[in-house]
Amino acid sequence: MNLTSILGLLSLAGWALLLAGAGLAITNMAQNRPARGGIVLAVLGLIVGVVFFIASSGLVQVGATQVAVVFQAIGGNPDNNNLWERPLGPGVHIIVPIVNEPILYSTEVRNYTMSKSSRDGNLSGDDSVQARTRDGQQVDIDISVLYSIDPALANIVHIRFQNRFEADFVRPTIRAAVRERIAAYTVNELYGGAGTAGAETISKLPQVQDDLRDEMRLIFAENGLLLQDFLVREVTFSEEFIRAVESKQVAEQQAEQAKQEAERARTIAKGEADANVTRAKGQAEAAIEEARGEAEAIKLRAAAESEALALISAQLTKNPQLIQWRYVENLSDQVELILLPSNSPFLFDLESLRNATTQPGN
């Protein structure tokens, strides 16, 4: 309870005392008793009531989050709508009752929200800002504005709007500015991502919010209000646009899937081709190695035969009769004499050869 309220209660008590005294005086007079006590009580009540009424009316207590605009009924300045030049800040101030009328305004930060949801918005129903983009698409935008009355410019608020500043200024100004700003962008620029366009883009909504905040701060200041913040809370795009985006995303996913399947098929085909090449190369290398092995074997056999023939030739050179011995060795034991044609240069003496054969065994 502030001082003005206390003084008002005391003034009310004085008026009550006045009525009680008057009633007592009338009762006493009706009963032919002295009415002096009632009259004194009534006069005392009148004095208390008047004094404290004047005191309560002549004092203005402005709270910590308030500002008082003072209207001067007599002798005011018409150029300023008969308002005091400076509003009254927090504290207790003296005014002239009846001549001066204080009007209190709150300087607390206010939140005005326009939203599709009734729970969030200041008004019931869908109160979002409906705007159209440069390419004709409708978007619904939820907006929150945090603002307060500038104590130094409270006179401007009172002169232009009084207590209607929220309905007459804040709401229509915000909605008009949002519609104008949105009309400068396409729906894909606001949506961001790929949207329905071909290339990936960054949403312009943060830039829209910053631009609107700067613009509204200047406009609010010109009308005695301080803009604390401007928030784009949510943007709802049309169902037609959302379906187009979803269709594009599905098409992109299908194209990506087809691309992956084609890549996988190419990988498999390349793997099979590489396997066939490797297998053919292996077979060719195996054939080469086999041929090389056969060639090496032939060379080795030829070298061995050549070496054997060289050894035989050397032995025959040393012992010419060795071949005769080898021949006779293979004859039957019953052969005593071998007759050769007359033109044959060889005639074997079997007995001597047999003896020569048996002698090494001794």
Beta carbons of 53 and 13 less than 8 angstroms apart: no
Q: How far apart are CA 149 and CA 153, in angstroms?
A: 8
Beta carbons of 56 and 7 less than 8 angstroms apart: yes
Token pair 């056969």 is found at 294
User: Among 212, 234, 231, which residue's Cα sits nearest to residue 115?
Assistant: 234
> Is the full-model pTM beyond 0.85?
no
CB atoms within 10 A of CB 18: 20
> What confidence score (pLDDT) does residue 4 get?
66
> What confidence score (pLDDT) does residue 346 get?
53
- Phi-psi sector, 231: left (phi>0), alpha (psi -120 to 50), beta: beta
Beta carbons of 154 and 67 less than 8 angstroms apart: yes
> What confidence score (pLDDT) does residue 197 get?
46
The structure tokens listed for 187 are 């729906």
Q: How far apart are CA 350 and CA 327, in angstroms?
A: 11
Q: How far apart are CA 26 and CA 66, in angstroms?
A: 47
> What confidence score (pLDDT) does residue 38 get?
73
Q: How far apart are CA 22 and CA 38, in angstroms?
A: 6
Q: Under DSSP, is residue 236 helix (H, G, I), strand (E, B) or coil?
A: strand
The mean pLDDT values, 10 residues at a time, for the chain of 362 residues are: 69 77 78 75 77 74 91 82 89 84 93 85 81 88 95 94 93 94 87 54 85 95 95 84 59 62 77 76 78 80 76 73 65 60 55 55 46
Q: Which residue intervals of 161-238 are DSSP H helices? A: 165, 171-182, 187-191, 205-222
Burial of 269 (0-12, 13-18, 19+ CB in 10 A): exposed
User: Among 33, 91, 84, 19, which residue's Cα sits nearest to residue 61?
Assistant: 91
> What confidence score (pLDDT) does residue 199 get?
46
> What confidence score (pLDDT) does residue 105 get?
95
Beta carbons of 63 and 91 less than 8 angstroms apart: no
Beta carbons of 233 and 115 less than 8 angstroms apart: yes
User: Among 136, 227, 132, which residue's Cα sits nearest to residue 174?
Assistant: 227
> What confidence score (pLDDT) does residue 248 get?
55
Cα–Cα distances (Å) from 307 to 32, 166, 299, 312, in that order, read 179, 123, 12, 9
How would DSSP label each residue in 19-82? HHHHHHHHHHHHTT---HHHHHHHHHHHHHHHHHHHHHHHEEEEPTTEEEEEEESSS--GGGTT
Beta carbons of 175 and 212 less than 8 angstroms apart: no
